[in-house]
Amino acid sequence: MSDEQRPGEASIIADQFLVHDLFLVGLVVIVYDYLVTLPVEIHYIWLRRKRGSSYWFLLNRYLGLSIMFIIGGLKFSVIPPTVCETIPKLAKGFLISQEVVVFGILVLRVYAMFNLDRRILALLLVTGAAAFSMSAWLVSTQATVPPPADANLNNSDLPNHLNGFPQPSPGSTLCPDLIFHPTAIRVAGAWEGQFALDTLIFLLTVYRAFLHRRREEWQSSLLRCLFRDGAIYFFVLSIANLANILMYYYGDALLSGSLTWFASALSTVVLARLMLNLHAAASAGILMPGAGGQWFGDEHLYSDETGTASEDTGTVVFVGSAGARRSGEGRGRRGRDPWPARVRDSWG
């Protein structure tokens, strides 16, 4: 069959090049940001005493980097035909694990902003569990064979077709992950659930800032940093996720998931920046007026509600006031702190 008789093959090759280019954009962004912020990471993470926030930061950053390199290796390698069906499943597992880490960090930040209010924690965990369960169910139902009504890409258009997956050809080095339109709608629903979680977290952040807009606590650059970075995170990720969702609705079977890894890399980058900014703000040594003499930083003392100073050489990023702790606000049942101070004061 001549090239004129097989327009589908040329379209597939062109789409694959575009998918690879978009993936490379995400890879370049995450690697470039890593190299630029590595000195800051060394200063605030590696050279300081490790806290809970440090381990979460490292998990987010290096899990994201590792996944992007693994997926990149698969995208630009010649894959045996028998392995083609396994690659999308592996990619989905990586993607879900990365999103769970990002969500966990955001939950802990909001939980700390609300003085460890267990109602907020329960709300976020229940909502997150529901969203991730629904997303897992939607993604797990992806079809590998085009439906009869799908005119965008059918069996006759696929060179070397095998079980719904085109095999490597002279112009193609990878079995692409085909997402046909009925399945793409379901995957878009999974990303819409993730967008809903981001919106909930942002609204809680705005609500917390609104409550303290006229209080002395707002003068703390730490609290302002939490709100500012949270707003930036939501704005940037909203644009990326919206573009990704629209691609699932309007892209063809090859392009439907083309922005997925770019959006995932961007979430890792923005969250890493957010955490580094918070460590930098805390490290400056911030006295929160009206907070019972609390200092936040590496070379200052932490004053508890009894007025007893204890040395704290780690980065302290808990933003609740001492008055709130005395009144029992944000505690568990009967006013008891759900976490000890050394854990409570470590999240960022």
Average pLDDT, rounded, for the chain: 73
Residue 61 has pLDDT above 80, yes or no: yes
Check: CB of residue 96 under 8 Å from CB of residue 47. Answer: no
Are 261 and 299 found together in one domain? no
Do 300 and 241 belong to one domain?
A: no
pLDDT for 138 equals 81
For residue 1, being part of any structural domain is answered with no
Q: Is the pLDDT of residue 24 over 80?
A: yes
- Enumerate the β-bridge partners of residue 310: 302
What is residue 42's predicted lDDT score, i.e. its pLDDT?
94
CA 76 from chain center: how many Å? Answer: 24
Q: According to the model, what pLDDT value does residue 211 have?
A: 79
Q: What percent of the chain has pLDDT over 90?
A: 33
Give 286 or 211, the one with higher predicted confidence. 211
Higher pLDDT among residues 223 and 160, named by residue: 223
The answer on 181 and 237 residing in a single domain is yes
Q: Return the pLDDT at 65.
A: 96
Are 215 and 309 in the same domain?
no
Residue 143: the pLDDT is 53
* Domain end (from 247, 264, 284): 284
Write down the pLDDT at residue 31: 97
Partnered with residue 295 across adjacent β-strands are: 287
How many structural domains comprise the chain?
Answer: 2
Indicate the pLDDT class of residue 283, thresholds 50, 70 and 90: low
Q: According to the model, what pLDDT value does residue 218 have?
A: 54
Spatial CB neighbours of 127, under 8 Å, sequence gap ≥ 6: 197, 200
Per-residue confidence at 209, pLDDT binned at 50, 70, 90? confident
Task: Tell me what pLDDT residue 112 has.
Answer: 86
**Is residue 2 included in any domain, yes or no?**
no
The SS3 assignment for 332 reads coil
State which residues form the domain around 312. Answer: 295-344
pLDDT tens digits, one per residue of 338-347:
334 443 444 4
Q: What φ, ψ does residue 166 adopt, rounded to 5°?
A: -70, 140
Residue 130 CA to residue 242 CA, distance in Å, equals 21
Is the domain of 177 the same as that of 77?
A: yes
Which pLDDT belongs to residue 304?
37
Structure confidence at residue 87 (pLDDT): 83
Of 78 and 39, the structure prediction assigns the larger pLDDT to 39
Instruction: Tell me: do 306 and 162 sit in the same domain.
Output: no
Q: Is 289 inside any structural domain?
A: no
Q: Which residues in the chain belong to E strands, given as ranges?
A: 161-162, 165-166, 286-287, 295-296, 301-303, 309-311
Q: Who's near 296: CB < 8 A, 6+ residues apart?
A: 220, 222, 282, 285, 286, 287, 288, 316, 317
pLDDT digits (tens, 9 = 90+) for 179-194: 888 888 988 999 999 9
Q: State pTM to two decimals.
A: 0.73
CATH number, position 128: 1.20.1070
pLDDT at 145 over 60: no
pLDDT attached to residue 341: 44
Mention every residue, 6+ apart, whose C-beta is less than 8 A from residue 211: none
304 and 335 in a common domain: yes
Residue with more model confidence, 265 or 308: 265
Q: Is there a domain that residue 338 lies in?
A: yes
Q: Which of the two residues, 334 and 9, has the higher pLDDT score?
A: 9
pLDDT band per the 50, 70, 90 thresholds, residue 277: confident
CB 259, CB 243: distance < 8 Å: yes
| Residue 122 shares a structural domain with residue 156 | yes
Say which range, 14-23, 266-275, 280-289, has the weakest mean pLDDT.
280-289
The rounded distance, in Å, linking the Cα atoms of 101 and 98 is 5
Do both 78 and 190 map to the same domain? Answer: yes
- Rounded CA separation 89/234 (Å): 28
> pLDDT value at position 242?
93
Specify whether 210 is located in the same domain as 252. yes
pLDDT at 7 over 50: no
185 within a domain of the structure (yes/no): yes
| Mean predicted confidence (pLDDT) in 38-51 | 90
HSE-up (13 A, CA, CB side) for residue 172: 26
Residue 141: band (very low, low, confident or very high) from pLDDT cuts 50, 70, 90: low
Do 126 and 23 sit in the same domain of this protein? yes
Percent of the chain topping pLDDT 70? 65
Q: Are 282 and 44 in contact (CB under 8 A)?
A: no
CA dihedral for 199, 281, 309, 55, sign (positive or negative): positive
- Helix 181-211 with 221-250: angle, nearest 10 deg: 160
- The domain boundary residue, chosen from 233, 259, 284: 284
Do 187 and 245 lie in one domain? The reply is yes
Tell me the per-residue pLDDT of 160-171, one tens digit each, with 9 for 90 and over: 333 344 444 444
The string of pLDDT tens digits covering residues 74-130 is 888 877 777 777 888 888 889 989 999 999 999 998 998 888 899 999 999 999 999
Tell whether 290 is covered by a domain.
Answer: no
